[in-house]
Structure 1
Amino acid sequence: MSEEIIKIFVGCDPNNCDLEQMMVLDYSVRKNTKHPIEITWMQLSHDRQSPWYSDETTQEGWRTEKWATPFSGFRWAIPELCHFEGRAIYMDADVIVLCDIAELWSHPMQNDAMVIAKGGKSAARLCTCVWDCEKAKSYLPPLKEIQDNPDGHKNLMRLLKEKPELVEPYQHSYNNIDGEDLPISEIKILHYSDMGTQFSHKYALPRLAKTNQKHWFDGKIMPHPRADLSELFDTYYQEAIDSGYQPENYMIEPYGDFSKATQINYQGNKVTRPSAQSSWLKSQIHKFKAKFKKSTFKLDG
């Protein structure tokens, strides 16, 4: 294990909106482990040779118009990109790793599971997960098919609803969503998931404004309810800077405009916005009763 390279694939924006998140994630992973790390930043690209290639005008490559983020569907590409061999970790960019990532990398996987993630029979969150790339080969369609289908991401999440045995659950602190009432000392991986309350906005938005650029998230920006977590991000941000990291080191040539689902009416989650979630839930229950449908399978974006 000590010589094995831990492969981490991170979904992030292609227009340099997430630089601060990328820097903090990178620093946090390396701060807390002695194992060799290889990080692949997954960002939309105009390069036909890139696995993240997308061209809206010709509808070639990734079809993103139904995604909640600029990278929602990328996680499904990882097993094939790893030649269906070994393990690989996927993370969203809005993550702070507070443990040795080797703990998650070496997490046991039982039976027929192809991915280790936060979830169960009624939920699946692949925003931080570990792929068994060889097992995934039996269940995932070829990458080209996933890319070409605007509903590819949704369809594959539905697969996990139909076959929950494909997900090996881990303890929730490996994908702690915005605190979840745990003290920092009990959080292994913090996912500051609410796109409207992300700690990085205080750095990213002023930086983007200097070049008249807008952030990809088009919903309402608001404070995070946990000041201690905000301070944690600031601490890691400053430690990274002091250690020689810079947000600019993660810059790429901007991709430009792309299609995705709007987040104007984004409701966050029950941790950061319990009252909004309650109102939203009542609305959903009403729709559920009206249409006589079964309750939906909860998925991450």
Structure 2
Amino acid sequence: MREDVSNNPGRHSRYETKWYHRQPSFWFRKDRPRPEGHRLAPEVVRFDAEPGVTPSEKPPVRIFLGTEPLQARAERIFLWSVKQHRDPARVYEIYLMKDLKGYDRHGWKTGFTNFRYAIPGLAGNHGRAIYNDVDQIYLADPAEMFDMDMKGAGALAINPGEDSVMLIDCDVMAKHWPIAEVGLPGMKKKRFRNAATELKLWGELPGVWNARDDEFNAAQSKCFHFTTLQTQPWRPFPDQIRYSDHPDGEVWFALERSADRARFTGFTREKPSPSFAAALARLGNGSPAATDAAADAAEIAKLASATGAKTVLDYSAPAPGGAARAWSGLAVTARDVSKPPFAEPVAGSFDGVVAIDSLSGVPEEDVAWALDELFAAAGRFVYVSVVSDASRMMEGAAPLPAEWWKMQLELAANRTPGRRWKLLVAGESASGDEKAHAFGGGAEQARAA
């Protein structure tokens, strides 16, 4: 039995990341201000009552998740953990607090640090809400926590200095954590923590709901928190952190493998993000491909030669001048360019699928399921070429880094194994010049351990 230290704030320092855990590049980036957020509200993943089950009359379980783009891998497995342990009769709503507009994030440890104190306002200043960091997974039904007797407290946490998991009474905390103050420049976490402490609004959350690293007990823990950055199994920031294996990382990897087998994504074609309809309207206007045609052709030829491919679906944005693309030795079937990309399911079966610029304008939340359709249509290889610069983004959106696109291809390859893939990301460098990043591999590339 491991020592229970969940209620001892003085032991929190053992989870900290020291200077020697950092990559050299971190020290050149650590004071760089985060870009302005572009989302007016969190996107919501909703799990309705399962078919054939009498719906519960209890209120939806509302979970607000602090996350950011390069945590997409952890975000997906958090969602899957909720789905695996939920009450099938009840509704669960997971609000993705990511890149929200109107918050000065300079000095935040993560891209979502202070979002947790905006939850009462984001929740309409009423009802209950759970807060979770993205580096956690549920091992029990979060409804058990959601329905807990709060005994008059405004917020429950394992201790006032560890609010990475909270159960919040939004009616009580709205006036003490006013949403208008959360995004102010220089606003520190201690302002919000101290407001609850001074008014004695903190209540104690059992440690099983925030089992941090070596506090994890397979027989008892209900929420496993991989809080130590340098041992997080999915290794989200390899350019910043020197990672080592987590002693219980297999718990997370096993959950990811089950999500892969189920081909799970948070949003789907049947239930896309709320932004998808607007994206289709914009994509329907069409725009010439802005990628390097010669580089695309060279990479496609390499993939076809390596895999023996003969037939290809060209699922790309229109070529400049509207001319059909052709690649030597390949029988090419072009998608119907009269319709926006992904307006209808990708149909057919081909040796290879080529997607040049057709994913550039798809909302971040919908890229995963769109890639799944491309991988499903490809028997041997997938080639994706995208543009990642502000001039090509949807109105109100932000460019996604090359590392994010690479991660999405790796995860898609895990969900639909057996395909080779290549990714070319064109964007602007810091000097304003065109800069391209190339990545390739297969399903094995996605495992971080």
- Give the secondary-structure state (helix, strand or coil) at the position aligned to 2:148: coil
Question: Does structure 1 residue 166 correspond to structure 2 residue 188?
Answer: no
Question: SS of the counterpart of 1:240?
Answer: helix
Q: Which runs of 5+ in 2 are unaligned?
A: 1-54, 269-362, 366-396, 402-449
2:177 aligned with 1:140:
yes
1:9 Cα deviation after fit: 0.7
The residue that corresponds to 2:261 in the other structure is 242
Q: How does 1:200-239 map to 2 (within 5 A)?
A: 200-201=234-235, 204=236, 215=237, 218-224=240-246, 226=247, 229-239=248-258
Following TM superposition, by how much is the alpha carbon of 1:117 offset from its aligned partner in structure 2, in angstroms?
1.1
Equivalent residue, structure 2, for 1:207: none
Question: Where do 4+ consecutive residues of structure 1 move more than 6 Å?
Answer: 247-250
> Does structure 2 conserve the Cα–Cα contact (< 8 Å) formed by 1:174 and 1:190?
yes
Residue 106 in 1 paired to residue 147 in 2? Answer: yes
Residues 154 and 256 of structure 1: CA distance in aligned 2, closer, same or farther (over 3 Å): farther
Q: Which of 116, 127, 130 does residue 89 from structure 1 map onto? A: 130
Deviation at 1:116, TM superposition (A): 1.2
**Does the 8 A contact of 2:130 with 2:165 survive in 1?**
yes
Query: Residue in 2 aligned with 1:72?
Result: 113
Measure, in 2, the Cα distance between the counterparts of 1:2 and 1:195. 38
- Whether contact under 8 Å (2:115, 2:182) holds in the other structure is no
Question: Counterpart of 1:138 in structure 2: which amino acid?
Answer: K
Letter of the 2:166 partner, please give it. C
CA distance in 1, matches of 2:239, 2:175: 35
Distance of aligned partners of 1:255 and 1:91 in 2 relative to their CA distance in 1, 3 Å threshold: farther
| 1:1-301 pair list within 5 angstroms | 2-3=56-57, 4-13=59-68, 16-34=69-87, 35-44=90-99, 52-53=100-101, 61-111=102-152, 113-119=153-159, 123-141=160-178, 143-163=179-199, 165-180=200-215, 182-201=216-235, 204=236, 215=237, 218-224=240-246, 226=247, 229-246=248-265, 251-252=364-365, 254=398
Counterpart AA for 2:154? M
Cα offsets for 1:101-155 (capped at 9, x unmatched): 11110111113x2111111xxx4211111110001123223x2222113224331
What residue is the counterpart of 2:350 in the other structure? none
Q: Structure 1, unaligned stretches of length 5 or more?
A: 45-51, 54-60, 205-214, 258-301
Tell me the matched-pair count: 219
Mapped to 2, the partners of 1:137 and 1:104 lie a distance apart of 20
- TM-score normalised according to structure 2 size: 0.46
Matched residue, 1:208: none
- Separation in 2 of the partners of 1:183 and 1:42? 29
Q: 1:193 to 1:254 in 2, by over 3 A?
A: farther
1:231 & 1:216 partners in 2: Cα distance?
19
Separation of aligned partners in 2, 1:94 and 1:217: 18
CA distance in 2, matches of 1:158, 1:168: 14
The answer to whether the 8 A contact 2:131-2:166 is kept is yes
1:247 Cα deviation after fit: 8.1
Pair 1:254–1:19, CA change in 2 (3 A): farther
Identity of aligned residues (%): 24
Give, as a single letter, the amino acid of the residue that structure 2 aligns with 1:245.
Answer: F
TM-score, with structure 1 as normaliser: 0.67
How far apart are the structure 1 equivalents of 2:109 and 2:94? 23
Amino acid in structure 1 at the alignment position of 2:126: E
Q: CA deviation at 1:79?
A: 0.4
Looking at structure 1, the residues matched to 196 and 180 of structure 2 have their Cα atoms a distance apart, in angstroms, of: 20
After superposition, the Cα gap between the structure-2 partners of 1:221 and 1:144, relative to the gap in structure 1 and judged at 3 Å, is: same
1:247-275 CA distances to partner (integer Å, 9 max, x unpaired)?
A: 89794565569xxxxxxxxxxxxxxxxxx
1:248–1:241 distance in 2 versus 1, CA, 3 Å:
farther
**Counterpart code for 1:136:** M
Q: Specify whether residues 131 and 255 from structure 1 end up closer, same or farther in structure 2 by C-alpha distance, changes over 3 A only.
A: farther
Tell me, what secondary structure is at the counterpart of 1:185?
coil
Query: For the structure 1 residues 37 and 216, does the alpha-carbon distance in structure 2 shift closer, same or farther, using more than 3 Å as the test?
Result: farther
Change (3 A) 1:255 1:146: farther
Contact 2:85–2:141 (8 Å) recurs in 1:
yes
2:95 and 2:127 mapped to 1: Cα distance? 16
C-alpha distance in 1 between matches for 2:109 and 2:118 = 17
1:173: how far off? Answer: 1.0
Contact 2:181 2:187 survives alignment (8 Å): no
* Counterparts in 2 of 1:247 and 1:100: CA distance versus 1, 3 Å: closer
Instruction: Between the two structures, name the one with larger relative contact order (CA 8 Å, sep ≥ 6).
Output: 1
